[in-house]
Structure 1
Amino acid sequence: MDSVISPGYSEKPATGRNWLRVGIFSVVVLLVGAVVGSALTVKGWSPFNGSSNNPPLVLPENQPRVNQAITLTTGFSAVAKAVTPAVVVIRTQSRMQQQQNPFFNNPFEDLFPDDDEGGPQPRRRVPTPNTPKGKEKKGQLVPSGVGSGVIVTQDGYILTNNHVVDGAEKVEVELADKRIFKANVIGTDPPSDIAVIKLDATGLPTVPLGDSTQAEVGDIVLAVGNPLGVGQTVTMGIISAKGRSTTSGVGRQSYEDFLQTDAPINRGNSGGALVNLKGELVGIPSQILSPSGGSIGIGFAIPTNMARKVMEQLIAGGKVKRGMLGVIIGQMDTELAEQFGYKGAGGVLVQEVSPGLAAEKAGLKHGDIITEFEGHRIVDSNEFRNLVANIPPGSSVKLKIWRDGSEREVTAKLVDAEAQTTLASSESGNSDKGETSVTEGVLSGVKVENITPELSQRLNMNPGMKGVVVTSVDEDSAAAGALRRGDVIVEVNRQAVSSAAEFNAAAKKAGNKKALLYVQQQRGGSTRGGFVTITPQE
């Protein structure tokens, strides 16, 4: 498999890497730019259904912190004793006709490949004693997953991962003292992989919420959860890195700012606790990077500060509201900076501007480089996306952009990511078939045609798309690895091309030097645009 995510984020999946949600199955969702935030509640049985009728969030005040000197004899026992009573096991059930969570297998079998294949294989569902093989009735509730959660209020609010309770119709929680409660799903937020559930109880043990921004690389942390269903387990490691993203900026539905840790985390740890030596919650374990399915010391936790913001909105209104600028962005690199003549450091490249949204109204164009947002210098695309999402819809924000050799400031009014719909143009495109094949220079071997109404319909293009369609690329050409049949070339070296003749002229002008193309790809009715550099062959 290329990249298995129980979650992920990478522009090109790294060969041999498997991103695994450490609780249950999940669909891979990738993202770039400003993205739609959503919130769901389990249908049909939760009395809350995402409403604002939930009891208010009341976090315990002045919770005691652990203050124990670390010795060779006591180790981290005081921290473990303080935290473990508030970390719970979450078991879910779903209907048979729904897609089932494959975690409820023999957990040890999951860690090993089939002998005849020699590599990780898709997990096989192993019927539990309550659902013998061949005896399941269509529509009946069956066990579908096991994960972890953290009690954060004495009246029963629990933080966990979205993928732990996603699709569940029944959620059961087992406390450390073995008491079992039915839980209601208050709300879920797939883009952040955070969910909030609630027990009908009082006087429960809690874990105090720490300030995850104070966590430093090298800090010792403990991970507490229910790995592989073996029961509550405490492991130890350090914060290995901050600000990690497991996606690459090319999808539209996730927000990530992970703490990376080498504390052993496995399937079943999802939604559990990552705590510092004061016993404060600094992260919610969510993913691991593993070729085998087991821990190799590369785990990822959602920082508490992000989880807290999501939790507060889910409890107050059942959904998360995020600001949206309306751009698809990409990471700047040395090659792109050279092509644009950009001498600055950092920044993100605007690859596409959605019509009718905040960015277009503010005057942003594809090819702009955003260098600053609300006075904050932009380092990378993931950071920029999170900064935008943290601003409430309707807010006016200031951005600095670099364009044509100079920096300027613009103001944009963010829209509501969830409520926004993209406007479509009604232009019909060019009706002249015209075609050309470049025979010399860096674009030699690229054949294109004008966009005709027939071709637009056949390739499922967006109405009004400008450019030329790639009809073939020679296998041994410089463009072979960058272009493919059906791509739409919109610009050559920042010069717009709307016909085969214009493309041919631009290709000749480019000669045998590096060429910067703006290309849009059509995939299943959606459009993704980006800049591509074609380098001459030696």
Structure 2
Amino acid sequence: MPNTWKHISGALGAMILGSLVTGAVMTMPGFMRNDPGAQDAVVGQSVPAAGQFGQATPLPGQNLGAAQDLSTAFRNVANLMRPSVVSINTKATQIVRGQRLPPGFEQFFNIPEGQPQRREESGMGSGVIVRSDGYILTNNHVVEGADELEVEFSDGKKAAGRIIGTDPQTDLAVVKVDRDDLKPAQLGNSDAIQVGDWVVAIGSPFGLDQTVTAGIISGKNRIRGIIGDGAGFEDFLQTDAAINPGNSGGPLVNLRGELVGINTAIMSRSGSSAGIGFAIPVSLAGPVLNSIIENGTVRRGFLGASLGPVNEKTIEGYDLKTTRGVLIESVLEGMPADQAGIQPGDVVTAIDGRPMKTHAQMRNYVASRPPGAQMLLDLDRGGKALQVRVDLKERTEEVMAQFGSGEVMGAELVPVTEATARKYGYQNLEDGLIITGIKDGSIAERDGLEVGDVIQTAGGLPLSSARQLEVILEEYKRQQQPCRVTIRRGNQMLLMVVRE
């Protein structure tokens, strides 16, 4: 399975640590040959003769106590965690077709034109055992598209794995093997870990299983837009522990041997470790793991409010009386936030006693709670402190689509989703806005639009929200230009020109 790259800034890129395609034995810089009869030498140093090696002694004035204690801590963590770490080998079969060649060219590989061919790809990643009865947590991109999984344990045994569930929005997956004698990792508290704390990463970089590296937590709450093209849930721990391709899905643990993160991505110019690695914290991974095991999929809580930052612009625009928290920009009618009395302009300062600093942090926390869960929100409303309790609903395509719904030209619009398309008899719709109602005397009625019509493009641009359509029409109106709008009605494609 190929590596996936996402450019972040300049020459730097963030790389989701994908699979390592194998099939050849390579010598690599920094590896010493082990040929029989070869003479080893260290440049600039003499090699002592046999029997001349002595007991290492500290230099005068050195106190190695602290260093030896740290070394012992690393060794203990490695010994504790190795039985809980696995390598995951994947196989995927792709169907490719022979290309038609221009006249005069010969088919070099002797593949009949247009005939499907099978091509197998192999990859490797890591995983961590989370239950003694065979449940393993890893990255979604490690197992995505795989037809076969083979899990290799620290004792050398191998077992077939099957995917229980995946969550592309966090890049997590749960794999199951038929063994009940496994040693699970202990989940730690990733919220409590601090920048500067020591951590250990274990995995199979470049196929070298049970590799242990150490470093510190370099940063927290990193959001890099790596997962889901920026639409996923991210709250990365950053570490300088060496992480390389093949480490994906492996554990990041503290010095108590507790799992605090799942190694997922690196920033690198070369594709290898540059000292900037990212791990999904267990505070985000834990609820996903539990939901997949219990339901086979991930069920997330839904608040029904759009969130924004508290900064100079919003402080002035909303006349806020606080400089910290998360701004409520809008509230969906009839949804949990509305039912709890939350209003646009409120600032959420804490949820369940946890301070809320960014809207991404609050979004992640709400989504980590199951449907039906109750949350206690601390609010600032015009300088007055309030507390409200909210009963979450379930985050679904249908309720999320309401954020893109609205009224334009007198037509009530909802974004296309699998459910809304099916409701109005459409298949294979990927974008657009479905008309669910039309006001009497409106532009939509005047121009002959009907309930069930799909507004697919405006000004040549595909549509995903009513606000987007509104902005496009306003711009054409400002330029005093007509806007061409394409409409789908059943199997027909219609063109409407909006001139006002």
Instruction: Please give the root-mean-square deviation of Cα atoms over the aligned residues, in Å.
Output: 4.2
Deviations 1:140-182 (A, max 9, x none): 4622421101123333221111111112121111223332211
Summarize the Cα distance change of 1:342–1:228 in structure 2 as closer, same or farther, 3 Å threshold: same
Q: Distance in 2 between matches of 1:333 and 1:69?
A: 45
C-alpha displacement at 1:384, in angstroms?
A: 0.8
User: Partner residue of 1:275?
Assistant: 253
C-alpha displacement at 1:464, in angstroms?
A: 6.6
Identity of matched residues, %: 39
Q: Distance in 1 between matches of 2:129 and 2:141?
A: 18
Matching residue's letter, 1:23 = G
Summarize the Cα distance change of 1:199–1:7 in structure 2 as closer, same or farther, 3 Å threshold: farther
User: Partner residue of 1:304?
Assistant: 282
User: Partner residue of 2:87?
Assistant: 89
207, 226, 229: which one aligns with 1:229: 207
Task: Tell me the TM-score normalised to structure 2 length.
Answer: 0.63
SS in 2 for 1:345: coil
307, 313, 320: which one aligns with 1:335: 313
Q: Distance in 2 between matches of 1:426 and 1:338?
A: 26
Larger mean Cα displacement after TM superposition, 288-297 or 410-419: 410-419
1:513-532 correspondence runs (5 A): none
User: Partner residue of 2:77?
Assistant: 79
User: Partner residue of 1:172?
Assistant: 150
User: Partner residue of 1:127?
Assistant: none
Summarize the Cα distance change of 1:7–1:83 in structure 2 as closer, same or farther, 3 Å threshold: farther
Q: Distance in 1 between matches of 2:253 and 2:456?
A: 54
Q: Does the 8 Å CA contact 1:156/1:202 hold for their aligned counterparts?
A: yes
Q: Does the 8 Å CA contact 1:289/1:299 hold for their aligned counterparts?
A: yes
C-alpha displacement at 1:299, in angstroms?
A: 1.0
User: Partner residue of 1:20?
Assistant: 15
Q: Distance in 2 between matches of 1:467 and 1:139?
A: 44
403, 409, 421: which one aligns with 1:429: 409
In the alignment of these two chains, the number of paired residues is 377
- Stretches of structure 2 that go unaligned for 5 or more consecutive residues are 21-65, 97-108, 412-441, 450-454, 479-484, 489-500
Matching residue's letter, 1:177 = D
Matching residue's letter, 2:75 = S
Summarize the Cα distance change of 1:248–1:304 in structure 2 as closer, same or farther, 3 Å threshold: closer
1:503-522 correspondence runs (5 A): none
355, 364, 367: which one aligns with 1:389: 367
C-alpha displacement at 1:363, in angstroms?
A: 5.2
Q: Distance in 2 between matches of 1:363 and 1:161?
A: 39
Q: Distance in 1 between matches of 2:228 and 2:157?
A: 44
Q: Distance in 2 between matches of 1:146 and 1:243?
A: 28
Pair member with larger Rg:
2
Deviations 1:358-405 (A, max 9, x none): 334445555543334345432111221122123321234444545566
Question: Are 2:302 and 1:324 equivalent residues in the alignment?
Answer: yes
Summarize the Cα distance change of 1:158–1:364 in structure 2 as closer, same or farther, 3 Å threshold: same
C-alpha displacement at 1:215, in angstroms?
A: 2.5
Matching residue's letter, 1:333 = N
Larger mean Cα displacement after TM superposition, 293-302 or 229-238: 229-238
1:33-432 correspondence runs (5 A): 70-71=68-69, 76-97=74-95, 138=116, 140=118, 142-247=120-225, 253-354=231-332, 356-362=334-340, 364=342, 366-402=344-380, 410-418=388-396, 420-421=398-399, 422-423=401-402, 427-429=407-409
Q: Distance in 2 between matches of 1:191 and 1:325?
A: 18
Summarize the Cα distance change of 1:405–1:277 in structure 2 as closer, same or farther, 3 Å threshold: closer
Summarize the Cα distance change of 1:238–1:463 in structure 2 as closer, same or farther, 3 Å threshold: closer
C-alpha displacement at 1:133, in angstroms?
A: 12
Deviations 1:425-452 (A, max 9, x none): 6845169xxxxxxxxxxxxxxxxxxx96
Summarize the Cα distance change of 1:133–1:321 in structure 2 as closer, same or farther, 3 Å threshold: farther
- Stretches of structure 1 that go unaligned for 5 or more consecutive residues are 26-67, 99-131, 432-450, 473-484, 487-498, 501-521, 526-538
C-alpha displacement at 1:97, in angstroms?
A: 3.6
Matching residue's letter, 2:157 = R
Summarize the Cα distance change of 1:420–1:23 in structure 2 as closer, same or farther, 3 Å threshold: same
Task: Tell me the TM-score normalised to structure 1 length.
Answer: 0.59
Q: Distance in 2 between matches of 1:403 and 1:264?
A: 46
Q: Distance in 2 between matches of 1:5 and 1:353?
A: 37
Higher helix content, 1 or 2? 2
Summarize the Cα distance change of 1:88–1:141 in structure 2 as closer, same or farther, 3 Å threshold: farther
Higher strand content, 1 or 2? 2
Summarize the Cα distance change of 1:409–1:200 in structure 2 as closer, same or farther, 3 Å threshold: closer
Matching residue's letter, 2:349 = T
Deviations 1:259-290 (A, max 9, x none): 22110111110111212223332221111122
Q: Distance in 2 between matches of 1:252 and 1:355?
A: 27
SS in 2 for 1:96: strand
Q: Distance in 1 between matches of 2:348 and 2:295?
A: 33
Q: Does the 8 Å CA contact 1:6/1:24 hold for their aligned counterparts?
A: no
C-alpha displacement at 1:75, in angstroms?
A: 7.3
Q: Distance in 2 between matches of 1:138 and 1:213?
A: 50
Matching residue's letter, 2:241 = A
Q: Distance in 1 between matches of 2:211 and 2:10?
A: 32
Q: Does the 8 Å CA contact 2:251/2:262 hold for their aligned counterparts?
A: yes
Q: Distance in 1 between matches of 2:74 and 2:343?
A: 54
Q: Does the 8 Å CA contact 1:224/1:234 hold for their aligned counterparts?
A: yes
Q: Distance in 1 between matches of 2:227 and 2:153?
A: 38
Matching residue's letter, 2:409 = G
Q: Does the 8 Å CA contact 2:4/2:18 hold for their aligned counterparts?
A: no
Q: Distance in 1 between matches of 2:456 and 2:284?
A: 43
